[in-house]
Chains A and B, each alone.
Chain A
Amino acid sequence: MSDSGTGTHEPGLKVVNVDASHYPLQIINWTDAKEVDLDQEIGRYEYLDDSNKTRRGIIMSNCKGIIENPPTVLDLIESIETPICFIREPCSHAVQLHGLCALCGQDLTRVHYSGFSQASRATINLTHDSKGVTVSTHEAGRIDSENITRLLNTNMLTMLLDLDQTVIHATVDTTVKEWLSDPDNPDYPTLKDVYSFTLPDHPTIYYIKLRPGTREFLEEMYNLYEMHIYTMGTRNYAFAVANILDPTKKYFKDRILSRDDSGSFVHKSIQRLFPVDQSMVVAIDDRSDVWNWSPSLIKVRPYNFFIGIGDINEPLKENSIEPIEKDEKAPKGPKPKPKLCDDDSELEYLIKSLKNLHKQFFDHYKLHDTKNDIGKLLPSLKSRVLEGVHLVFSGLIQIRHDPSTHDLWILATQFGAKCYKDLNDQVTHVVATKKGTIKVNQAKDKDIWIVKPEWLIDSLSQWEKLKENDYLLDSSILRLVNNDQMIPVNMVLVNDDWNTMDKEVDEALLDSDDSEDTEELQPTLKPEIEQQSLCLKIESTDDDDDGWLNDEIDDILNNSPTVASVVQDQTLNTGGSSGTILGKRKLEQD
C-alpha cells in the first residue's frame, strides 16, 4: 500500500510518492484521467521487497487537482527524492474565513475520512480585528515581506505602543469629577488636560490624563515609525482613547489591537501582528512581563498620575520595580497641598532613544544594503549603557524570590550591567533603599558606590549612566548633621571617621525634634537612640515587607557585633472606610 505523500514543493503543487522502503520501483499501470479527486487510485507499481520477492503497490492521489508530469508505464523510479508525479491543486486554501476558502469559495469544514482538515491549512490571524479571516504560514510570509519592502522604501520602522500607564493614565474614580467642578481646589490646574469619556452600555465615566509630551511624541514619531496601538483594554476603550489621542486618525489610522482581538488577556506578542518577520518592529510598554521580556521591547517607567489607581486594564503582576513606598503625610496647614503632580519626563528620553534606534537601523541599511534585526540591534544598543557596572541590590528584592527573575535585575542585565546576589570583588555599585543593611555596611569599607534605586531607574529611562553623586544613599545622613549644607560624599571612608560621625549624629539628634524630612526616601533615625555605636532602627509599613525584613534582621542580629533594636511600626490599614482610593487620601489630608 502506498502513503499519501504530504510533501509539497510549493503551495498548490503537491508531490505524489509512496513509502520510502518500496524504492526503487517500476510503474506498471497509470490512469488516463487528468483531473483527480482526493484518494483516488492513479497508478500501480512493482517493487522488490527484503526477501527479493516482487510485490505490487497502488499509487493514490493525495489531493484533488490536475496531474502534472505523469510518468509513463515501465518507468523506473530510483528513490523517494524523485516525485512520481505532481498534482496541481486548483486552490491552496491559503486564506480562509471561518472554514470557508476565501480564494475558491469552497466549504472546508467537511473533514475528509483520512482525518486531514483543510481548515488547518490557514490558522494565522494577523489582522487588527477578530472577524475570523485566517491565512496560511506561506501567505503570512508573503504579506510580511511585502510589508518589509514597503517600510524599507519609505524609511520607516514599526512601533507597537501600549496605552495604559505608557502614554495615558486612566481612572474611574469619581473624586476627579468633584475636583474638576471645583476651580478652587488645589488640584484643579493640574487636571486641565484630563479628558473624559463613557463607553457604550455602561454609565461609568473614564478620566484620562495624557502623559506630558504625548502629543509631541506622536507628532515626532509619526514620520519615523508606523504606529500601532496594542492595549489590554477592550475594543471600545481602545477606540475611545485613540479618538482622544488621534481625532483625525492621522497617527494610528485603524491599526488598533485591543484585548478582544489579540486573543489573550495576559500576554502580548509581536507575532500576533507580524507572524513571520519581526525584524523591523519595536514594542513600547511599561511592563516587560506581558511581552515575555522580548528583545524588541523598550520598557518605560509606568506613568502614575492618579495616585493609587495603577492600571485599570492590566493583569496582576508580582515584582514591582519602585521601592516600597511610604504614605506621605502632607503637613497640616491652612492650605492643603495639591496631591497630583505632573512632572514626568519619560517621553522626552524615549523620543531620543527611538530616533537613535531609527538612525542606527537605516544607516546600517544604506551602508550594507541588508536590513538589520531590531531584536538584535536593540539589545546591543541597550547593553552599552551600563557597561562595566557590577551591582548588588539591597532592600529591593524579597529574599524568598529568586532575584534573577526580578524585573529590575533583568532590566539592568539587558542594559549591560552585571548583577550579583552578594557582594564580591567585582561589585562596583550597591543599589539600596535603606542604610544599615548588611550589604550597605559591607560596601562602606570598600570603594563602592552606594546609590538609591532612583539612580538605576533614571539611568534606565534616560539610556545613560548618570552621575552617581546625585543619587547617593548616604547624603541624607549629612543633611541631618549640617542642616544648611549638602556635602557630596566621597565614598572612600576611613575607619576613623566613624567615631566622629557617630558623635555628630548623636548631638544633632538630641538637638532636633523634627524627625520629618520629607525629601528623604525614608526617615530611618528616630530621636530615641541610646547606644554609643551605630544603632539600627528599621521601620516597616506593610506586612509584605516581612519576608525580606526578617531575614535582614536575622542577619544583622547574628553577624553585627552591636546590638540592634528593631522597631516595627504598624501604620495605617490599607482598607479605609471611605470608598475610593483618592477619596481616602483626601480624608487623611483633612
Chain B
Amino acid sequence: MFFLKELTHSINLHPQFFGPQIQACLIQRLHAEVEGTCSGRFGYIIAVVEVVEVGKGVLQSNTGFAEYKITYKAIVFKPFKNQVVDGIVTTVNKIGFWCEVGPLQVFVSQHLIPEYLKFDPNANPPAYVGHGQEFGDAGARVEKGETVRIRIVGTRVDATEIFTIGTLKEDFLGPSQIAI
C-alpha cells in the first residue's frame, strides 16, 4: 500500500560544497541517497515529494563535515498481509513464479497456484497454462511479462529487504487482461 510519510535523513556534507548552492546540493543528495532504498520499517521509498525542513548544519570538530538533519515527505510503499495487488511476472519455473509489484518482488509457490494452471516447461517462454473447458484457445497463461493479480499471504522484513509470498488460489485472482 502507498503512504505519504514524513521522514528524516541526515547528510554529512564535505566542506567543498559550502557555497551559494548548498541547499540545492543537499536536496540533490537527499534524492540520490534515499529514493529507491528500502527500510524494514517504512517499506520502499519511492519518491521524495517535498522537503519540509533543512536543519541547521552542525560542524563536526573531528572531520570538518557538516551534519544536516533533513525532514522530508516521501511516498513509501509497504506490502501488507492479505492485500490484493497487481504484478508483472518476471520469472517462471517449476516451483512457482516471481512477479514484481512495483519495486517489490513477490514469490508465488506452485502449491498456491490453482489446479487448473499447470506448468508447461516446453512452452517458450515457460508458463503456467490453464486447462479446462472454460479456457479453450484463449487460455489463461502465467508467463513472463503477463499481468497477474495476487493476494499477499505473508511478509518478512530484513534490515533492507522485504520478502513476500503471494497466492493465486482464490476467486478473482490470476492472470488478468488489465494493462499496468
Contacts and interface: CB of A to CB of B under 8 A. Distances in A.
Interface string A83-111: 00000000000010111111111110100
Interface string B9-24: 0000000000000000
B96 A249 contact: no
A321 to B, nearest CB: 37
Chain A interface mostly:
loop
B109 A100 contact: no
Given A127-B93, A131-B107, A133-B107, A100 B125 contact: no
A253 B155 CA distance: 31
Nearest to B106: A97
B111 A107 contact: no
A100 B156 contact: yes
Contacts of B153: 104-105
Interface string B148-180: 000001111010010111000000000000000
A129 interface: yes
A251 to B, nearest CB: 10
Given A133-B96, A135-B95, A100 B165 contact: yes
A143 interface: yes
Nearest to A132: B163
Interface in B93-131: 93-96, 98, 105, 107, 109, 111-112, 121-122, 124-126
B31 interface: no
Interface in A240-262: 248-250, 253-254
Contacts of B122: 154
A98 B164 CA distance: 10
A128 interface: yes
A507 B80 CA distance: 94
Contacts, number: 75
Contact of A129 (B91, B121, B126): B91
B109 to A, nearest CB: 4
A309 to B, nearest CB: 34
Nearest to B154: A105
Contacts of A104: 153-154
Given A128-B93, A131-B107, A101 B126 contact: no
Contact of B111 (A95, A129, A254): A95
B124 A103 contact: no
Contacts of A129: 91
A105 B81 contact: yes
Contact of B109 (A102, A126, A147, A154): A102
Interface residues of A, number: 32
B126 A253 contact: yes
Interface in B18-58: none
A147 B154 CA distance: 29
A3 B164 CA distance: 35
**How many residues of B sit at the interface, in one of the four size bands?**
20 to 34
Contacts of A133: 95-96, 107, 109
Contact of B98 (A100, A106, A131, A253): A131
B154 A98 contact: no
B95 A98 contact: no
A406 B165 CA distance: 49
Contacts of A99: 156, 163
B89 to A, nearest CB: 13
Contacts of A100: 154-156, 163-165
B95 A127 contact: yes
Contacts of A107: 154, 156
Given A97-B165, A103-B109, A150-B121, A143 B95 contact: yes
Contacts of A154: 122
A562 B158 CA distance: 78
Interface of B: 81, 91, 93-96, 98, 105, 107, 109, 111-112, 121-122, 124-126, 153-156, 158, 161, 163-165
28 contacts: A97-B107, A97-B163, A98-B156, A98-B158, A98-B161, A98-B163, A99-B156, A100-B165, A103-B109, A103-B112, A104-B153, A104-B154, A105-B81, A107-B156, A129-B91, A131-B91, A131-B98, A131-B105, A132-B163, A133-B96, A143-B95, A146-B94, A150-B121, A226-B121, A248-B124, A249-B124, A250-B124, A254-B125
Interface of A: 95, 97-107, 109, 126-129, 131-133, 135, 143, 146-147, 150, 154, 226, 248-250, 253-254
